[in-house]
Amino acid sequence: MMTGKRIGDVAICTGLSVHALRQWHRRYDIGPTYNSLGGQRRYSDSDVERIELIQKLRQHGYSLPVLADWPLAKLRQQAESRHNPLVVGWYGPSYSAMAAQTPQADLLELIAPEAPPSGMDFKVLECPTVTEDLIDLLPDSDSPTFLWYDFANRKQLAKLESLGVQLNRGRPTAGWLLQTIRNKTGATLGYSLEELTHLSNIQPDLDCECPNHLAGILRELTSFAQYSLECVVNTPEDAELHQGVYESVKDAQRQVLSALQSVLAAENLLQDLDDIPASSRLQE
């Protein structure tokens, strides 16, 4: 006979505190759905599974308010699809800055624009001048390719569009990349330096300054992640050392990012990011 779990038992098996479980129930209706014979609310096995899936997806950048609206079937599907990080191939000088500002994704530095997109969710190319040779080298692919350029003629642009290449003029920004990722996955896999600066300076209604401190810490980690990617290396040993440093910093970014998103959701501060002028988002 099904009896359901008490909130204390759920706290033990999920690792969440009783206080957090009550907050999730009160704010997002993520709570017990089973009534015991005595009329008391209990957590069913499905309720516990839902909480565990939500925890897993939050680690991949999904916000709690979004996840709270998803049925169990969608949570299962998304958790399975996000078992591996989003993979983005990047060719161009902005690689280190973009990789540093998207800690929940894996950006792969491409040595040539014609690199096959095998295993990539999408590819981004920075090619200031479009040439016929470049167009001929681009492989056919089911994965989206985004091309950022400065100069091209109409014939070249038409040919690129016929190949399914998505064209953007100018220079890519972290704001663009993060929004592209959000559009594809529904997840926030990082914040731009501009957004983190904004968050570190906001004044919450409460006395708690956790959002400010966490945003400041994440900004420092992001800046150092970019530095570690750009640091000059002279030997294979140097390259291996700096790659290890970057991966360690990236792990720290992911942990702080998860904590920051939890605080922003709890304090209803996510909408504060909408106050950043669009022109500022393009200057990262």
pLDDT band at residue 205 using 50, 70 and 90 as cut-offs: low
- Confidence (pTM): 0.73
β-pairing verdict for 87-91 and 34-35: unpaired
Please check the confidence at residue 193 and state whether its pLDDT lies above 80.
yes
Q: pLDDT for 3-32, tens place per residue?
A: 688 899 999 988 888 888 998 998 889 989
**pLDDT at residue number 210:** 86
Asked if pLDDT for residue 139 goes beyond 60, the answer is yes
DSSP-assigned states of every residue in the chain: ----B-HHHHHHHH---HHHHHHHHHHH--S--EE-TTS-EEB-HHHHHHHHHHHHHHTTT--HHHHHTS-HHHHHHHHHHTSS--EEEEESTTHHHHHHT-TTSEEEE-SSTT---TT-SEEEEE-SB--HHHHHHPPP-SS-EEEEESB--HHHHHHHHHTTPEEEES---HHHHHHHHHHHHS------HHHHHHHHH---SSS--HHHHHHHHHHHHHHHHHHHHHS---SHHHHHHHHHHHHHHHHHHHHHHHHHHHHHHHTT-GGGGGGS-HHHHTT-
| Band of pLDDT at residue 40, cut at 50, 70 and 90 | confident
pLDDT tens digits for range 250-283: 999 988 988 887 777 766 666 555 555 443 333 3
Q: Determine the pLDDT at residue 20.
A: 86
At residue 41, the pLDDT reads 83
Q: Residue range 154-177: average pLDDT? A: 94
Structural contact between residues 63 and 191, judged by C-beta atoms closer than 8 angstroms? no
What's residue 282's pLDDT?
38
Segment 97-119, tens digit of pLDDT = 999 999 888 899 998 888 776 78
Instruction: Tell me the mean pLDDT in the region 191-208.
Output: 81
Measured CA to CA, the distance from residue 188 to residue 178 in angstroms comes to 7
Residue matched to tokens 């669009």: 278
pLDDT of residue 147: 96
Average pLDDT of the chain, as a whole number: 84
pLDDT confidence bin for 61, thresholds 50/70/90: low
Among 20-29, 128-137, 204-213, which is the least confidently predicted range? 204-213
pLDDT for 181: 86
